[in-house]
């Protein structure tokens, strides 16, 4: 979490709170490594959500398609 908060330029308490929420919702998983916790995305949850977003962008979001170069 210290590394993540440093890279994001955010306070550790904010990052900790956000990670706790993501963990409780099943978007991330946490594995203890001594005194540290390593967080990773839960691909079983994230991949389907990203596919939904991608489908939405392709069908409905002209602005997103223009910015990213995604075609219908």
Question: Domain locations in the chain?
Answer: 1-41, 43-72
pLDDT mean over 38-52: 94
The DSSP H or E segment spanning 24 is: helix 12-24
Q: How many Cα atoms are found within 13 Å in the side-chain-facing hemisphere of 34?
A: 1
pLDDT band at 9 (very low <50, low <70, confident <90, very high): very high
What pTM value is reported for the model? 0.69
pLDDT band at 45 (very low <50, low <70, confident <90, very high): very high
Pick from 27, 20, 65: nearest CA to 48 = 27
pLDDT in the model for residue 63: 85
pLDDT in the model for residue 61: 86
Residue 3 pLDDT > 80:
yes
pLDDT mean over 28-48: 94
Helix (H, G, I), strand (E, B) or coil at 49: helix
């Amino acid at each position: 979490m210290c590394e993540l908060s440093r890279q994001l330029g955010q306070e550790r308490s904010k990052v900790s709170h956000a990670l706790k929420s993501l963990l409780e919702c099943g978007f991330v998983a946490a594995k203890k490594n001594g005194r540290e916790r390593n967080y990773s995305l839960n691909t079983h949850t994230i991949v389907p959500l990203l596919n939904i977003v991608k489908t939405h962008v392709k069908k409905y979001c002209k602005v997103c398609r223009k910015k990213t170069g995604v075609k219908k």
